[in-house]
Amino acid sequence: MLRVENLNKFFNRNQVLFDINFEINKGVFLSILGPSGCGKTTLLRCIAGLEEVQSGKIFINGRDVTNFHPSNRNIAMVFQTYALYPHMTVKDNITIGLRIKKVPKNEIEQKLSKVVDFLKIGDILNKYPSQISGGQRQRVAIARALVKEPDIFLFDEPLSNLDALLREKAREEIKKILIELNATAVFVTHDQVEAMTLSDFIIVMDRGRIMQFGTPEEIYNNPQNFFTASFVGSPQINYYNCKVLDQKIIIENDLEIQKIDNLREGNYILAIRPEKILLEETKDSIKITGKTLFYDNLGSYFLINVLVNNVIFKVINKEKIERNQELNLYLPIKDIFVFTEDGKRVK
């Protein structure tokens, strides 16, 4: 459905996308996730035809569209700002693309009626963007995309202007709409919650490169590099510089723990997610003992900060634990990620 091969992009002499390769099938929701400046919006704009690529290919439905004008790619884009025309009514905003293409009036009305019924926005058709809410403006932007009946929907951080409650509702709405349509979508976001909850697949990007491509479960449970492990996950993963020496692991030059099998001497980054650290003994785990510093009440759970030989471990627990309590922590070896100093996963 969508295939990108060996794509490279430069702004003047500055390369911003490096050898991008991925493929998704029809009906797949793909999120491109990464920090500001990582190249995710640039990649989306390349797919849309809004940016020229210096090398590589883009295929949509088997057609090489690399050099096609955006209007010939049969894509629809929903922008961060929704890009609604303030002087036009909702109805005119939705149908402007069809009118520009000189689609017959009766066909426009049929498509409009279908989309309006689907999104339940019939009561605002004669209003202007300034007269409707943020959530309604988002629906109008989606309606404008839907009437085009595109092969692919492209979303450029469409939820970032909404408050937290409205964002959650809008997220559910977008997912419901796209599932019902069996639509293919590429969704750019810096918000890992959006990516994890919406996506069939996620691309994690950093500095113009794909760090990992996989399902949300693969990205979270099997990160292939330190960047992915540290960027995806809330609370953030615990991670420490460590040294393997004389059958021991020395963490941050302060804490010694038993050596993990098949780990050669050298410098590494050791990481474990807060929810994987246990307070009860379990088989094949590393025991450490510390004292509680403080806790964060996060509603459904408490994030306990435990000091072990000047090293802080963040642990998730259903009940709060007061300060200065001695606590045994158990780190299951199977849940510990080990990375090289340059961030590559050690299997």
Residue 346 maps to a domain? no
Is 347 part of any domain? no
- Provide the whole-model pTM: 0.91
Task: Quote the domain boundaries for residue 328.
Answer: 238-340
Task: Answer whether residue 18 is part of any domain.
Answer: yes
Q: Where are the beta strands (DSSP E) in the chain?
A: 2-11, 14-24, 29-33, 55-60, 63-64, 75-78, 152-156, 184-189, 201-206, 209-214, 238-245, 248-251, 255-258, 266-272, 285-297, 302-308, 311-317, 326-332, 337-340
The verdict on 258 and 335 lying in the same domain is yes
Q: Is the pLDDT of residue 41 over 80?
A: yes
Same domain, 105 and 223: yes
pLDDT of the residue at 177: 85
Residue 99 lies in a domain: yes
The enclosing domain of 158 has a CATH number of 3.40.50.300
Domain count, the chain: 2
Long-range contacts of 130-134 (CB under 8 A, 24+ apart): 130/86, 132/90, 134/161, 134/162, 134/166
Domain ends where: 231, 260, 286? Answer: 231
Q: Which long-range contacts (CB under 8 A, 24 or more apart) does 191-198 make?
A: 191/33, 191/159, 191/160, 192/33, 192/231, 192/232, 192/233, 192/234, 193/234, 194/31, 194/159, 194/167, 195/31, 195/33, 195/232, 196/220, 196/232, 197/171, 198/29, 198/31, 198/171, 198/174
Could you give the CA distance from residue 203 to residue 205 in angstroms, rounded to a whole number?
6
- Tokens standing for residue 223: 């990160």
- In this prediction, residue 225 carries a pLDDT of 99
Among candidate residues 199, 231, 263, the one where a domain is terminated: 231
Q: Answer whether residue 307 shows pLDDT above 90.
A: yes
Pair 210, 291 in one domain: no
pLDDT, residue 286, reads 94
Same domain, 103 and 217: yes
Query: Which residue from 224, 133, 226, 183 is spatially nearest to 2, judged by alpha carbons?
Result: 183
Same domain, 83 and 171: yes
pLDDT tens digits for range 103-138: 999 999 999 998 898 888 999 999 999 999 888 888
313 in Cβ contact with 329 (< 8 Å): yes
| pLDDT of the residue at 42 | 98
Tell me, yes or no, whether 129 and 244 share the same domain. no
Instruction: Give residue 142's pLDDT.
Output: 87
The residue among 101 and 297 whose pLDDT is bigger is: 297
pLDDT tens-digit map of 56-80? 999 999 999 999 999 899 999 988 7
Q: Show which of 216, 231, 246 is a domain's final residue.
A: 231
Per the model's pLDDT, the better-predicted residue between 263 and 35 turns out to be 35
